[in-house]
Structure 1
Amino acid sequence: MDAQPVIAAIRFAQGRRPADPIPADPMAWLDSQLAPGLPGPDLPADLPATLPAIFAAGREDTERVRAGGMGRPNQARIVQTETAAAIALSVGGAQGFRERLVAFWANHLAIQRGRVPLFAGHYVREVIRAHVTGKFEDMLVAMARHPAMLAYLDNNGSIGPNSPAGQRMRRGLNENLAREILELHTVTPAAGYTQEDVTSFARILTGWSFQGQREPYGFVFRANAHEPGPKRLMGRTFPPGQEGGVMALTWLARHEKTHRHLATKLVRHFVADDPPPAAVDRIYGVLRDTGGDLGAATRALVRLPEAWQPPLGKLRNPQDYVIAVLRAVEAPDDIAPRAANFMQNLGQGWWSPPAPIGFPDSGAAWSGPEIMVRRLDWANNISGRGAGRDAAEVAEAVLGPICRPETLRAAARAGSAREALTLVLVSPEFHRR
């Protein structure tokens, strides 16, 4: 097997399954996964998957608890089913590159599933997946309007001090969402914004909230909680009302510092922990020239010469590693619920970063001795699913020419087929992407 299909599947996608066809043109194969409208995870027909249904399920749980019942069964079912469906798509699907992009952008605009359990799956489907190859400004505005982010960063309770509601209730601003959008999601401190800008942006976003008791379910703009008058942000003046918030978010999404930040993160994720400056410059230029077109930036990303140069250098994070192993042993989709537990045990729970900055994206964060020992133990256990498989054949199918001779020799000397397969799955080259 040629190296390019392997690099395409490992560096850009989620690893090969032995039965996967080998693409004749790896770049065209990657491009094909960037078309709009590709299917997402299959959800059961009875799962509350729309916002009205999700809010209704949450109300049922709340009423049950108030009546003395134990637990929140609807919440538990929604969380478990959404998570399992998304993982199953990664383990068994053929759109690994697109799933990697969904994971990347979900980590960039991160929420914590434990804080907003009812909404996490809907957020990833409607905010991230729906815009993953569109304009960044559309993704950013959708994020700022979604109940998951509004609740996670407390903007639903942010009230303009001089608004009618603020005067009546004596409540004020919450700056969490404004601060994280500036610091993490868009321009970063490199833009030179000040604390005054954070406060002003928080005023711009007052009134951005949601409701779940009646229509319209989801985002609402509460004019009586919005700080009146125009506001200045980083030298620009924005009008009052919801329009000013959309204008501010759009301007931030198109800012050159945002494009530089996004380019750096994309190259770091798909190419190297230490992003090559020339590669960052190229992706930055595409984002700048296209007004933040993520599809165009992604197509440019797969055409970076640096992205195709062996050896593979980045350490797979726990989620990537678990998915790649399960694909290598051709695990069935129904392993997804247990896979979520595996990832949690390895330090990277699904949709569960510890902070708004998301999970780290460098090998140093995932190469500690304890985490690596857990990986080895888990891989040894999961190899039982592939017991009887010829380790050399698996290595050829999923690693091809990047498999080292030392790995094949060690597998050949192993005491059992399971041990041989484990040696392939824990080899240095399998840990890399």
Structure 2
Amino acid sequence: MIVDAHHHFWQVAAQEHPWRDHRHDELARDFTPTDLATELTQAGVDRTVLIQSVDEPAENDRLLAYAETPYVGAVVGWLPLSDPQAARQEIDRVADLISGKQGAAEAAAPGTAAGKRSVAEATALGAGASTSGERSVAGVILGADAGQGANADLGRGSGAGPGVSGERSIAEATALGAGASTSGERSVVGGGGSSHLHPTSHPHPTSHPHPTSLTPPAGPAGGGAGGLGWFAGAFSGVRCLVGRDPLDWLSEPSTVDLFRELAAAGVAWDVVPVTAEQTKAVLGLADAVPELRIVVDHLGRPLIDSGGWEPWAGQVRQLAGCPRVGMKVSLGIDLLTELDEWPELERYLAWVVDCFGPDRLMVASNWPVVLLRASYGEAWGRLRAALEQVVQNEDELAAVLGGTAADYYRINRKVSL
């Protein structure tokens, strides 16, 4: 299974990106699941990890809707991690949203009054379909069928997608977003339910890459029941945008307790520590919560634009010393903005492979941000070619191309309401 471990969707009218400026005009438009589907098929990518791009509760609602896309295997949502009380409130809010949809689905099951209607009719009723054939899920406008434009695939009735992996191309599966999966199952929640990563579903990353069980999580993976269980079912990871801001709050006891709870629920943390101070703070948290899976995005921002090596190389070595820290082989917006063309990566990749080993690395496009310097196909091809130069063992390469992401983000355990 090939996994793109980092990409985004957004609609510019629905959200503001403070990190985007006049140099990023190419990104000032909508980027939807339909836009990415063909690119994934042509690149041979099977699953993706969808990542938040703005810090606000509405982003989680949008992500829950986007998660219905068949090829999205896992989602990294947003939490205000520097404010544990606010973070727990957001966890409970999301849990209430998801559990409420589960209750609606059960009420519409066969044998109930709502269940006596056809699944398609119940779906339309649950979504509040308008006379124009559009419906809204979590503030995202969804077409009533797949032929209504770029956002039509967001209106999927089934959160599980194709019941058998590989039976349809990603593009076809996305186009079938409003229809039933190959197993004939689809949600009656109107397309707004979330995709879930069930803690007990098939552990092998290639045996059952997209199971269609409709059982919601009873509680956190490895933890107790409660709101965090529902949240962890929807989101495999969390992050908040930190830029170059101080991360002193990571050492606060209440923050450490929050991360312990997230770790117990099987939720990973994505972060880009760029400065020495940020790296020290992340290392402190990794030591305080050794069970927490931490994913360093975008190679930790190597100094490719200046040809520099330190302090980046030393920080990578330090981070790799923590056994639960992994890293994404991708380029972030800071570097993509500064570069004039796609860089030679082999030197930097050789270092991160030496430090982390292939089993803690995962390739990622950072689409659509990567479009600042290359098309999806070109970027993916160049990333893969560079990796093949430094990772020549077939099994190790398979880990970087998908196995690591499947493990860190529980991609093989995705189920749906």
Q: Shorter-chain TM-score: which interval?
A: under 0.3
Q: Please identify which structure carries the higher strand content.
A: 2
Given the two structures, how large is their TM-score scaled by the length of structure 2?
A: 0.25
Q: Decide which structure has the larger Cα Rg and report it.
A: 1
Q: Please identify which structure carries the higher helix content.
A: 1
